[in-house]
Structure 1
């Protein structure tokens, strides 16, 4: 599955949301020394997007590839729902798989709901002119190349960030150790 933009967050968070929400808060313990970060101001509700903005946003989702990044979400949720009964009923695994497979076509029509959610998010953030500009870009040769290679770029970038993060973490551990040593502590 291609995971891009809003799709990445949605796919990562979907199991936690479906499991009841509290799992999101439990994923990472609070850091004891959190650096202050700017928090968004409590903003007023944005105006409702126009019908044309929503139409353009749907076209954008198709052009930028994000609409297809959720192709496996519905089958995954159906499999997860059926699989939730396996532990209590291991003898029913084959039947549960068959039920999940038979339900998938019935719910595939709901894929449009996902697109509508994303389209509303884009339409709420971008004007008609901006959506048209984005569409122009994604329909251009360089825009199509961007969509085609985006996942590889992200994968390469994430590998690089992981390596950098590891080096940076070791550097910070050394610095903290040195600073604590200056204060008379050996850690």
Structure 2
């Protein structure tokens, strides 16, 4: 059971981090993306720099791990493995190209430049500074709600399983 919770937590961490930084799964894989123009790439990179994406991603990973360990102190024993895994697959170095492609695909060059300009204003800077805390707090709210209402889901699943005919395994 402990192993199950460790795996579940690791999956939740990676899914949360990925969801915070990506669009829905319908997005085409990297291999099918059209090449970006140099100016489109530069605009996307400038927006990502203006939004402190690298720093925010690192801080988000740190906060997610801290929250998980706070909620389940037994996770402290596997923190190095979880951190190594997240750093390998969710770090800025691992995700930068995908992020450039994502933003360049979702916004025109002009929009990217306008967004970068906004994030250089005082309210834009404040938004960037607050976003990691807001994301962490949002995740905590979601996790708390799931935990509070988990018995309802478990009951619904148990009732469904009672009424469902067993399937033959061949």
Which fold has the larger relative contact order, with Cα–Cα distance below 8 Å and residues 6 or more apart in sequence?
2
> Whose helix fraction is larger, Structure 1's or Structure 2's?
2
Larger radius of gyration: 1
